[in-house]
Amino acid sequence: MKGNISFVILGVSLAFPTLLSADEVTQAIKLLRSDRSEMRFDAVRTLRRLSPQTDSAIAALVAALDDGGAPSENATLFYFPYVRHVASEALVRIGEPAIPSL
């Protein structure tokens, strides 16, 4: 049940990024450590949209650069960006504050 709640939070965050609070950014950062690649993918997409310039978010995104997880099990049938690709996009959006961590 907890995983479903996380998907709801991330779904809301993707639709209404301006409504996010610091707690929801923290939740997305925690979800980057999930065993499920779909959860990590949704979390990194949320952080890409928000572009939080906090040390913890930047560190989590830098760590996600090594994540080869796909957004779904069917990702090999079509082109989908992997977690690491979206993490790199998020770091580019954050810009200069992310450079020292790279």
Q: Which residue has the higher pLDDT, 5 or 95?
A: 95
What percentage of the chain reaches a pLDDT higher than 70?
71
What is the pTM assigned to this prediction? 0.73
Torsion angle of the four alpha carbons 94, 8, 33, 71, in this order, in degrees rounded to the nearest 10: -80
For 97, the token pair is: 């504050």
pLDDT digits (tens, 9 = 90+) for 57-94: 999 999 999 998 877 665 555 566 789 999 999 999 99
Cα atoms in the Cβ-side hemisphere of radius 13 Å centred on 79: 1
